[in-house]
């Protein structure tokens, strides 16, 4: 054996030995999926159905121990109206906690737009988008907020130092400082209910079926079917956060 063949054979042997057995295994996608029954939660909002009753906000506050009187909430409803002059206005008094019972809109600064000036309106429920690339998680300096393997973005109350970077980093304004627990708080998608097989509190409370929560890895889930086959939109797509709250009937005015 001369030097050339020795080196050639050595390269073949080393490469072969370095190759793990797993790399040569043939994987059937269906088998992999059945062995790992993964869950990837997603949320679907049908803005056509929302009537602005605010039962979702009320239920969320009760379920998740958010002070009712404090002006913080994990989910909220925005009302968008168009006036006769074509102006677009939006409001969300107390996050829509008590519903929208008055047709007029109070703008910041004390001006009131009366009901007669408004020609159309609609409601957009909002919550944490549980982004696939959450900007709020990237900016946390202590690892107190994270995305779970099931796609829920959570805050570790014990670990949070309350610096507020994530509140600033969230493009959707979905985070706030919890006045009682003294840590950053946000929608958990009611993880504690989902693991027990129940829907999120806001989903259960919505009388009009405007809110749904579902598993994107289940092709028969109504949410997955809607995401795949309906015309859906997401909020602030340009931020690259890949939100997982999908909207049916999202108007171009909403951002």
CB of 13 to another protein, least distance (A): 33
Q: Which helix (H) or strand (E) holds 245?
A: strand 245-248
Residue 58 near residue 131 (C-beta atoms within 8 A): no
Q: Which of 25, 100, 117 is nearest to 57 (CA)?
A: 100
For another protein, which is the closer residue by CB, 46 or 221?
Answer: 46
CB of 250 to another protein, least distance (A): 12
For another protein, which is the closer residue by CB, 11 or 119?
Answer: 119
Q: Which residues bind another protein (CB under 8 A)?
A: 47-55, 59, 62-63, 79, 81, 98-103, 115-116, 118-123, 133-134, 137-138, 143-149, 154, 156, 158-159, 188, 190-193, 195-199, 201, 204-205, 207-210
* CA dist., res. 202 & res. 41, Å (int): 15
CB of 14 to another protein, least distance (A): 29
The CA-atom distances, in angstroms, between 166 and each of 51, 73, 95, 160 are 31, 16, 20, 10
For another protein, which is the closer residue by CB, 18 or 45?
Answer: 45
CB of 193 to another protein, least distance (A): 5
* CA dist., res. 218 & res. 63, Å (int): 27
* CA dist., res. 22 & res. 34, Å (int): 19
CB of 5 to another protein, least distance (A): 43
Extract long-range pairs of 33-38: CB within 8 Å, 24+ residues apart: 33/217, 37/217, 38/149, 38/150, 38/217
For another protein, which is the closer residue by CB, 7 or 103?
Answer: 103
For another protein, which is the closer residue by CB, 95 or 121?
Answer: 121
């Amino acid at each position: 054996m001369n030097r050339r063949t020795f080196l050639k054979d050595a390269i073949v042997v080393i490469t072969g030995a370095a190759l793990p057995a797993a790399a040569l295994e043939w994987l059937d996608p269906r088998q992999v999926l059945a062995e790992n029954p993964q869950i990837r939660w997603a949320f679907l909002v049908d803005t056509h159905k929302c009537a602005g009753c605010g039962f979702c906000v009320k239920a969320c506050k009760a379920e998740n121990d958010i002070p009712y009187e404090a002006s913080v909430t994990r989910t909220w409803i925005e009302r968008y109206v168009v006036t006769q002059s074509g102006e677009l206005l939006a409001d969300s008094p107390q996050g829509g906690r008590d519903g929208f019972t008055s047709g007029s809109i109070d703008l910041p600064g004390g001006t009131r737009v009366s009901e007669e000036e408004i020609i159309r309106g609609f409601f957009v429920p909002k919550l944490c988008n549980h982004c696939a690339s959450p900007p709020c998680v990237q900016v946390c300096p202590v690892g107190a907020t994270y995305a779970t393997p099931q796609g829920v973005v959570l805050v570790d109350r014990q670990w949070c130092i309350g610096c507020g970077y994530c509140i600033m980093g969230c493009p959707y304004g979905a985070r706030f400082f919890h006045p009682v627990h003294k840590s950053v708080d946000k929608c958990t998608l009611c993880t504690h209910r989902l693991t027990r097989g129940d829907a999120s509190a806001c989903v259960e409370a919505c009388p009009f079926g405007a809110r749904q929560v579902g598993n994107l890895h289940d092709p028969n889930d109504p949410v997955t079917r809607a995401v795949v086959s309906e015309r859906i939109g997401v909020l602030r797509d340009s931020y690259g956060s890949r939100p997982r709250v999908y909207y049916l009937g999202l108007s171009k005015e909403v951002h």
